[in-house]
Amino acid sequence: MTCALKLAYKGTAYCGWQVQKNARSVQQTLQDAMEAAFGSRGTVTGCSRTDAGVHAKGFVCKAEGLPEGIPVSRVPEALGRRLPPDIAVREAWPVPDSFHPRYDAKGKEYSYRVRNSRISDPFDFDYAPLWFLPIDAERADALCKVFCGTQDFRSFQAVGSDVTDTVRTVSDFSCRREGELVIFTVQANGFLYNMARILVGTVLDLLEDPSAERRATEILAARDRALAGRTMPAKGLCLERVFY
């Protein structure tokens, strides 16, 4: 049986989604649970490779090799009993063998949380880095809009990435404040390596620049990673949704 699974996980204890030789991954932990529940590790394919420390509320993967005859509706509970508390299977549904959670995706939505305070919150420490300087969320939201549309985001790709087609369509990029939390949300048809974290870092770095909108446009046009802002820490990033 082949089915799609929607996962939620806290990424703090993991090296990311992808199986690695010397570190614990979400993919490996899920396959361990499949083996314990159904007697077979099967094959699991994810919608993306999240980095160490990145979280997810709507990560989609395809699980192949599940025993026939098991109601798909029972899969989340069966796996949940064998998974650690920082990973949950929220939904399961049947898909054809041809389904690919990455290549069939039309887009993704990420959120990035920043705690705008000089004092950390121990209950939120793993989900939001501290930012000491005051953040004008309305100003940040206006700056986010410069990056919307179909543009070349090479300046926002991590150094060393071998992706050559760096044009992406950002359909929405916004910022809002909820108390001390400043939350960025970005939707796109695809993301370059570290793109979301660099976009947020660039917006925050440019906030004090009176010509921020012009600088943002120049950074896009330059196609040069050295001109963009910092790469924000992984722990603030969360994959919210995948669109099909």
For residue 182, which phi and psi values (nearest 5 degrees)?
A: -115, 125
**Closest alpha carbon to 209 in 153, 133, 154, 148:** 133
Q: Which residues, at least 6 apart from 226, have a Cβ–Cβ distance to it below 8 Å?
A: none
Return d(Cα 177, Cα 123) in angstroms, integer: 18
* Residues marked as catalytic: 51
Angle value at C-alpha 158, between 233 and 55, nearest 5 degrees: 40
| Token code pair at residue 6 | 């929607």
Alpha-carbon separation of residue 74 from 8, 70, 196, 203 (angstroms)? 17, 7, 35, 44
